[in-house]
Amino acid sequence: MADNYLEKKMEDYRRGPVSRRRLSLPRRQTGEPVFVAAGEMTPVVAAIVSSLTADSRPVYFTVKNCSRRDAMNLAGATGATYDPDAGNAREHFAARYGSTSSSVAIDLPGVQADVYIGSPTNHNGRHSVNPDRLSPAEIARCVLFLATGTARAIAPLAISVDSAGLGNAYAQYVYPAIARVLSSFSRLVPFAIGDLFIALSIAGLLLYPIYARHIRKQRWKSILLADAKYLLWVYVWFYLAWGLNYSQKNFYERTHIPYIAYTPENFQKFVDSYIKNLNGSYTDITSINETLACHESVRAYNQISDSLGVHRPFHQSPRVKTMLFTPLISMVDVTGSMGPFFCEFTLNGDLLPSQYPATYAHELAHLLGITSEAEANFYAYQVCTRSQVKEIRFSGYFSILPHVLGNARRLMNEEEYAQLLQRIRPEIIGLAQTNSEYWMKKYNPVIGSIQDRIYDLYLKGNKIESGRKNYSEVVGLLISYEEWKKNRIFAPVINQQ
């Protein structure tokens, strides 16, 4: 009997009926060309082709039940060679590489799947597989293949070619139902269970190898495989519970508000209006009514939902939680977060009163399915600046001041920038400096730079191409929105004339 999970699964597959999945992964020579013949395009097929090309292997593939565009997109994304002639593809492969001995044959019409990689003596799906002799890349493919019962339905595991439609369907119809269920559960718990889940997961991934190696005497590859499988299911859970919102339409597509090109002229016009509103909204904030901030945010999101492409809040009193590890979070200058695993949002316990309303509205936007940081800033600005509560309204204007100044520094010369600063009330400049000094005392440059780099890669890996710079793109959204609003107001007048 197999002495670890992977070997047991392989043995089950080898001995099972034809209707069950079988996997064969004998060792191969590095750089050996591979032929892939698939019955249909599935996430598994795309992932295996991608994995093989990542090993620097020449990959030649054909798919019977697949549109030419999908196949060409897969070829372009992976560097593999696509042959549209499914009937003669093996002969074309033989002519190109001189042999067909190295091949992968994949057929996934339903539950049946046969995968062959390498140079097997025959293709009967009954090769012995010893996990301790597999390379890390082969183990990764084992994990991916064994999980296909669920993973083939998860878009992120595939190289997506038409993900916008599916992503938008998920964001509009599937996610609201998931969010209502998960948030209804998580709001019953007084602490951030997502933070606890992440902390326990990290601890488990680090401590389990020690336990499994020294207590249970397991082999290292078996241990690492168990960790990899756990991470895979966390990955799937993340995307099912919230992460597929990254594939939805962007702000301009959802709202049909036209994008306005960013120019020094329209930026200057925006800045003039913004500084006037910022100065006029100023009030000294020494404390904040958290319940009032919640109610005002819910009211405003209900008001703008239809016109600005965002869901209405799933509960009339969304429960915000304090981050479990506030001191550590303050070291990396994070003021709030969205907990995707249980659809909850959290705020930093060190948050200042002037920051609370805008940060609350920003994180609530993420809970409502908004993934872009720029869009979350935009919605927070709209929510807060529409409030009749002066503290909340000022927090909205004040929240984008760093982004406005950052853009101004790039677009203006030193003299123009100095004049802009002089136009802002000294109390507001003083508040911005005080807040900056407050957070810098808590900030750890080493930990902060690591977090910045990881989060930048995370955003770029989820279709936010500008990474952390995405936060400041709120100014472009606001310029486009203000131009659209102005044109909508004056259009009837022009038509009458």
Express each pLDDT in 195-232 by its tens digit: 999 999 999 999 999 999 888 888 888 888 888 899 99
320 touches 294 (CB < 8 A): yes
323 touches 442 (CB < 8 A): no
Express each pLDDT in 298-312 by its tens digit: 999 999 999 999 999
Q: Are strands 34-40 and 59-65 parallel, antiparallel or unpaired?
A: parallel
- Residue 452 confidence class, pLDDT cut points 50, 70, 90: low
Per-residue pLDDT averaged across 101-120, rounded? 40
Report the mean per-residue pLDDT for the chain.
77
Per-residue pLDDT averaged across 136-157, rounded? 39
Q: Can you tell me which residue has the tokens 């597989």? A: 129
142 or 409, which is more confident?
A: 409
Highest mean pLDDT among 30-39, 133-142, 162-171, 258-267: 258-267
Per-residue pLDDT averaged across 95-111, rounded? 51
* Of 76-80, 240-244, 258-262, the least confident: 76-80
- Residue 80 confidence class, pLDDT cut points 50, 70, 90: confident
What local confidence, expressed as pLDDT, does residue 465 receive?
A: 55
- Tell me the percentage of the chain whose pLDDT exceeds 70: 71
153 touches 29 (CB < 8 A): no
C-beta neighbour count of 402 within 10 angstroms: 14
Per-residue pLDDT averaged across 190-197, rounded? 95
- Residue 351 confidence class, pLDDT cut points 50, 70, 90: very high
Express each pLDDT in 407-448 by its tens digit: 888 888 889 889 999 999 999 999 999 999 999 999 887 776
What local confidence, expressed as pLDDT, does residue 284 receive?
A: 94
- Tell me the percentage of the chain whose pLDDT exceeds 90: 43
What local confidence, expressed as pLDDT, does residue 461 receive?
A: 59
469 or 69, which is more confident?
A: 69
* Of 268-277, 326-335, 443-452, the least confident: 443-452
Degrees (nearest 5) of the Cα angle 181, 186, 188?
Answer: 110
Res 158 pLDDT > 60? no
Per-residue pLDDT averaged across 355-363, rounded? 97
d(CA 23, CA 17): 13
Amino acid at 254: R
- Residue 146 confidence class, pLDDT cut points 50, 70, 90: very low
- Residue 391 is inside which H or E element, if any? helix 390-399
Is residue 200 packed enough to be buried (19+ CB in 10 Å), middle (13-18) or exposed (0-12)?
exposed
Express each pLDDT in 487-497 by its tens digit: 776 544 444 44
pTM, 2 dp = 0.67
Nearest Cα to 310, choosing from 362, 359, 368, 364? 368
- Residue 340 confidence class, pLDDT cut points 50, 70, 90: very high
Nearest Cα to 429, choosing from 391, 390, 402, 392? 402
